[in-house]
Amino acid sequence: MKILLTSTSFQDTPGSHHNLLDSYNFDVVKMRGPLKEDVILDVIADFDGVICGDDEITRKVIEKGAKSKLKILSKYGIGLDKVDLSAAKEFNIPVANTPGVNNTTVAEHVFALMLCYSKNLIKENELIQNQNWTKLIGTELFQKTLGIIGLGHVGKEVAKRASAFGMKIIVFDKYVDSEFVEKLDIEISDSIEELVAKVDYLSLNASLNEDTRGLINANNIQKCRKGIVIINTARAGLVDNDAIIWGLDNKIINAYLTDVLEEEPMVLNHPFLNYENIIITPHIGSRTYENVVRQGTWAINNLVSHLNI
């Protein structure tokens, strides 16, 4: 059987997931994603299965694959916003993912970004590299208020770490685990507007769908507590970029810390590059040795189970 592998994290990270994939003697073709629709459309008919990342798996792609020999789309990861799920259902192509696999490593990345910003670590390193022994003044996370939008697998791990840092926690989610919030003494907010008005830091951990697209927008940024820091390790589409820039320009937002962009790799001359108080990492929140093995192994097992091997 012929398999398309597009995940760069899977490809670039050594580990037992490679041995597992090799053990099935598939004809594996590696392409470096995320692939645009036209690229994957040209090749999809050749494959029995795909281990995909954030490729544009549109209706056209699925239809063409289904009319040839495609049997399974196995997502290396959690988010399925780039897959046309209605088309997959219509053409009877199973779509599998790895829910919950990223929770610890992404939660750690949230705090890596927060600490880099609050302790001026990036600026201080740049100064030292330029032989400039300047001591900037940072801020503590202790006793600050963290807002979390999306109290799922990742959101809960972020909350646990925030509790350990001595932060007050407020959450917004349509479906709240009452036992969990009671255990960590978490406050529940009835709306995003209410939440952003109370918090010093805001972590976005919701999935992207039509209900959550652009949930951080000009309307609720105007209601934010002055000096808020927004951290996005989920999906770029959760925020309106123009609203983020407006909030920075008007001194409402102190910083935007993001691991995700609307187009990846980053486009040239992206407007975010004009701001020192925007920290960007290249979608590496889940890219650790431990997690790549977990995620890759799960994606392979999902693939194999639907190929009936």
Question: How far are the Cα atoms of 5, 217, 257, 287 from residue 282, in angstroms, in the given order?
Answer: 20, 23, 11, 10
pLDDT tens profile 189-205: 999 999 999 999 999 99
Using CA atoms, how far apart are residues 237 and 214, in angstroms rounded to an integer? 6
77 and 145, same domain (yes or no): no
Using CA atoms, how far apart are residues 107 and 111, in angstroms rounded to an integer? 7
pLDDT tens profile 83-121: 999 999 999 999 999 998 999 999 999 999 999 999 999
In this prediction, residue 308 has a pLDDT band, given cuts at 50, 70 and 90, of: confident
198 and 53, same domain (yes or no): no
Which residues, 6+ apart, have CB-to-CB distance to 270 below 8 Å? Answer: 261
Q: Give CA torsion, residues 238, 294, 174, 111, to 10 deg.
A: -60
168 and 299, same domain (yes or no): no
- Residue 75 in this model has a pLDDT that exceeds 80: yes
Instruction: Tell me the catalytic residues.
Output: 235, 264, 283
21 and 150, same domain (yes or no): no
- Residue 273 in this model has a pLDDT that exceeds 80: yes
Range of the domain at 257: 103-280
267 and 172, same domain (yes or no): yes
121 and 242, same domain (yes or no): yes
Q: How confident is the model over 230-259, as a mean pLDDT?
A: 98
- Percent of the chain beyond pLDDT 90? 98
Q: Domains in the chain: how many in total? A: 2
150 and 295, same domain (yes or no): no
Question: How far are the Cα atoms of 15, 60, 141, 228 from residue 199, in angstroms, in the given order?
Answer: 40, 43, 12, 7
Q: How confident is the model over 148-168, as a mean pLDDT?
A: 97
Specify the CATH number for the domain of residue 57: 3.40.50.720
83 and 113, same domain (yes or no): no
179 and 84, same domain (yes or no): no
- Residue 292 in this model has a pLDDT that exceeds 90: yes
Work out the burial of residue 16: count CB atoms within 10 Å of its CB; fewer than 13 is exposed, 13-18 middle, 19 or more buried: exposed
Three-state DSSP at 48 gives coil
26 and 72, same domain (yes or no): yes
**Among 62-66, 173-177, 239-243, which stretch is predicted with the lowest mean pLDDT?**
173-177
Summary mean pLDDT of the chain: 97
18 and 132, same domain (yes or no): no
Which residues, 6+ apart, have CB-to-CB distance to 157 below 8 Å? Answer: 103, 104, 106, 107
pLDDT tens profile 14-27: 999 999 999 999 99
Q: What is the pTM of this model?
A: 0.92
44 and 161, same domain (yes or no): no
